[in-house]
Amino acid sequence: MITFRPLTKFDKQATIVLCDEEQVKQKSFSFSNASLKKELNSIINSKQFSGKDGQLFPVVVNNQVVLCVGVGQKKSLSLTALRISVRRALLSPYLREIKSLELIVHEQKDNVIQAVIEAVLIGTYTWKKYHTKDKNDKSVDDKQVVIIASKKKIYEDAIKVCLGANLTRDLINDNADTVTSVHVGKVVRGLIKGKKNISLEVLNEKEMKAKGLGLHLAVNQGSNKPPKLIIVKYNGASTKDNYTALVGKGVTFDTGGINLKPSGHIEAMRMDMSGAASVVGILKNVINLKLKKNILFVCGLAENAIGSKAYKPGDVIRGYAGKTVEIANTDAEGRLVLADAISYVVKNYKPSHLVDIATLTGACIVALGLDYTGLVSNDDAFAAQILKSAETTDDRAWRLPIYPELKDSVKSKIADICNLGSPKGAGGTITAAEFLRQFTEGTKWVHLDIAGTAFVEGTSRMYFAHGATGSSVRLLTHYLQNN
């Protein structure tokens, strides 16, 4: 929980003081607590604390813990480093048993305060649903944080965006047999309940068969769980205004199908619905922010299970757009679900702009690593807007090329198109994007491959703990707010 107030009162269990190197050198602090200033002057004079990025130094003043946190040089302040430092402070042993604290920010700039908010809400998020609580553990996970800053709408909005990102993380982190297509449907219905400017279309298996969404159905046919295509139509502007569509890949578990994933790769495949989960998180944000835009929120939900009914390599399947697809690999399933979702939305809802979000290719991790989402687009202006939002929010993206000759990479000898690019292993991210492009029918389109950015394996990365990051939620919410 975060609240704001303009003046420091030192009335909480603890205080965090963010200090840049210039402040420390000049011994210039914004608060008037004489006892604390004396302690700070003492540790500065003894050269124990200089304000360098990442420094933590605890002092006790009037029986209150005060944690001094260095953020580096003001002129070269990295907001990413700031988020990391604030997260580290909040999770430090010094504050483990603290329930409430003040946080004194070194600089009253909006982007600095927003970064601190994200450090508190996104940085300290952990997935503990299935942890058995130790009775002797006195640590406090959800701290009440008072940020010393005047209350502003921009800060309240930042809190809302973080909560949307954390909803996305909850969906991804939970068990695959819990977060099924049915569960996601219930979450969506809960978000839109009672909202007059929203309508809902849900295609179940029967409707998909009737309408010809053969690619989506093929991916799911080995599963005992139902497939769904969920479309939320949000009317925040005039009905004459254009719609932007957000289409998320929602493979609730991906075994790889008959092209089974090996150990070491299959264990975290509940995260293969991260694109759809991001769409749900953005939906929550748009509703709470009351954006005056027309937006389509689309979740293509399936489970790529293995069994006697699973679709097979070598099959040729016809999708909603009428194109036939050769299945070269059953683990290239996400693009099949997206192809039917994209072509259905383009034909029936006619959006002016479309973004698809997917944990689509391991090749994107090879190309860009774990901190940048891969972006492919058929429109330079649209791509530039998304990239600007990515830079502003630290929800990073990097543009990769797409070009006319790339269509040859997804040709098939036995069908209209192949679900695996050739030559094998070459440019897997952009050939997958080319496959999707052929279903966009000229709509202005951005593809976000979040395979590397959606999930943290291990202890932590940047200011994220193990598990889902909420990749693309902050990015696309910012884009919708500003374009």
Going from the N-terminus, what domains does the chain have, and what CATH number goes with each? 2-151 (3.40.220.10), 158-482 (3.40.630.10)
What pLDDT score does 75 carry? 87
What pLDDT score does 425 carry? 84
What pLDDT score does 62 carry? 86
pTM for this predicted structure = 0.96
Residue 25: exposed, middle, or buried by beta-carbon count in 10 A (0-12, 13-18, 19+)?
exposed
Query: How far apart are the C-alpha atoms of 134 and 151, rounded to whole Å?
Result: 37
Question: Which residue of the set 270, 284, 335, 444 is catalytic?
Answer: 335
What pLDDT score does 31 carry? 82
What pLDDT score does 78 carry? 92
Enumerate residues 6+ apart whose C-beta is below 8 A from 264. none
Query: Any catalytic annotation for residue 261?
Result: yes
Query: How far apart are the C-alpha atoms of 232 and 198, rounded to whole Å?
Result: 7
Phi, psi dihedrals of residue 322, rounded to the nearest 5° = 95, -10
Question: Which residue of the set 211, 261, 318, 399 is catalytic?
Answer: 261
pLDDT digits (tens, 9 = 90+) for 203-226: 999 999 999 999 999 999 999 999
pLDDT digits (tens, 9 = 90+) for 29-87: 888 888 888 988 999 999 999 999 989 999 999 889 999 999 999 888 899 999 999 99
Strand residue runs (E) in 56-129: 56-61, 64-70, 100-104
Query: How far apart are the C-alpha atoms of 265 and 276, rounded to whole Å?
Result: 20
Three-state DSSP state, 50: coil
Query: Any catalytic annotation for residue 135?
Result: no
Nearest to 12 by CA among 140, 123, 128, 119: 140
Nearest to 259 by CA among 219, 301, 215, 212: 219
Report, as ranges of residue numbers, the positions in the chain whose pLDDT lies below 70: none
